[in-house]
Amino acid sequence: MLRSMYSGISGMKGFQRKLDVIGNNIANVNTTGFKKGRVTFQDMMSQTSAAASGAVQGGKGGTNPMQVGLGSKLATIDTIHTQGFQQTTDRPLDFAIEGDGMFAVTDGTNTFYTRAGNFSLDENGDIVNAQGYYLLDTNNNHINIDPNAEDFSIQSNGTVTYLKDGNQSAPVTIGLAKFSNPEGLEKVGNNLYRATDNSGLANNGALYAPESGGAGKLVTGALEMSNVDLSEEFTEMITAQRGFQANTRIITTSDEILQELVNLKR
């Protein structure tokens, strides 16, 4: 009887965590470059009442094991890196990536990765993100546009040039990182990811030029939005809510039966 109560508790805990992930997905439905999360479960260990036995020659046949499960537990919280839809902004420093690549940015010490392509220029002409982290080129250098430039151009292949005093600058190329296992990346907030031992940074850590190495191409004047599907999230929310309610009913029913057993003493 107590096993059913503890199984119900484990189910409640799992569905609470699922609702946490769903709530975060919905909260970030309009976050640039956000990738939704997904929760999966697995059953816990089972208590064996009788082991399996094989058939005995000339005797009785084999029997299957008898086991009672002890509930469920969290298996994974996955980050789903599917492509989000593009929103046209016509802003020259807004970039969307069509493909699997990610922008590389640095705070001067650490390198982070992001799909959020809303960049701007600082007072020195460096291209930075919303936190002031520098966008890196294929040589892991900051990308600078002279503050006195008359105009600049960024192509879909990542080439950045500017015009100053009628002369065109030497081109530099926006770098894109590619991971063999993007789900292994660690979210660190602010639309940023950190590489981990399991993310598998491709190209030996070097950055690809857009339209090469399978990293994808740039779309200028557009942003990649969240890949959260509200209809899917609300469906999952209903499923989690009903699952939670069903597990609470298991606890309530087990408690009522225990109460009946206690009343037998009277």
| Per-residue pLDDT reduced to its tens digit, 112-147 | 999 999 999 999 999 999 999 999 999 999 999 999
pLDDT at 1: 60
Identify the pLDDT of residue 235. 96
Tell me the C-alpha distance between 63 and 51, whole Å.
Answer: 8
pLDDT one-digit tens code per residue, 167-216:
899 999 999 999 989 999 999 999 999 999 999 887 777 899 998 888 88
Note the pLDDT tens digit of each residue in 60-81. 888 888 988 888 999 999 999 9
> Which pTM value belongs to this model?
0.87
Within its chain, how far is the Cα of 196 from the centroid? 14
What b/e sequence results for 237-255 when a residue is b if at least 16 CB atoms lie within 10 Å of its CB, and e otherwise? beebeebbeebeebbeebe
Q: Where are the domains of the chain?
A: 1-42+70-83+225-258, 86-224
- Rounded Cα distance between 132 and 153, Å, is 21
Mean pLDDT, the chain, whole residue set? 91
How far apart CA 168 and CA 115 sit, in angstroms, is 29
Q: Is the pLDDT of residue 266 over 70?
A: no
